[in-house]
Amino acid sequence: MGGRGASSGLSDKGKKYGSEYTTLHQSGNIKFVRYNDSGSAKPPMETMTNGRVYATVNAKNEIKNITYYDKHDKRYKQVDMGHTHAVKGVQTDPHTHKGYKHDEKGTFNVSKKEANMIERVLKTWYHHINRE
């Protein structure tokens, strides 16, 4: 059921489940992915792996988003990097959006825990791309 095609294995657009993204690297529970259909860094809405965190990479090999998923494997939080967004009237980068769609529960400054994850993701990605 649903747009991702959970029952049929196909999305509403006729795409096979799992074909929207290319995995570039994986480190523990963090999977580095790139969206296949454009140069934009569109983060996944859902996951099939409990506890997964996705780092979405754009066409320039830059980390643009880190997304977190709830116990139902639906996105509940996204940390955006590389562009500013107003948080309490102040342009902030990075920043966190809460909610499934993107910002339905607000935009916030990153927490200490999120800052630690950003550091871990950037360090892991830096080491990965410099080994190639």
- 31-47 per-position pLDDT tens digit: 999 998 876 788 899 89
pLDDT for the residue numbered 5:
44
pLDDT band per the 50, 70, 90 thresholds, residue 16: low
pLDDT for the residue numbered 77:
95
pLDDT for the residue numbered 55:
97
* Structural domain of 33: 21-131
Count of domains observed in the chain: 1
Least Cα distance to 47 among 21, 14, 13, 79 occurs for: 21
Residue 39 lies in a domain: yes
- Look at residue 49 and tell me whether its pLDDT is greater than 50: yes
pTM of the model as a whole: 0.84
Q: Are strands 53-57 and 30-35 parallel, antiparallel or unpaired?
A: parallel
Contact predicate 33/54, CB 8 Å: yes
Report the SS3 class of residue 70. Answer: coil
- Give per-residue pLDDT as tens, 59-94: 999 999 999 999 999 999 999 999 999 999 999 999
Which alpha helices (DSSP H) does the chain contain, by range? 112-131
Contact predicate 68/56, CB 8 Å: no
Q: What are phi and psi of 120, to 5 degrees?
A: -65, -45
d(CA 109, CA 21): 28
Q: What six digits make up the tokens of 3?
A: 């747009």
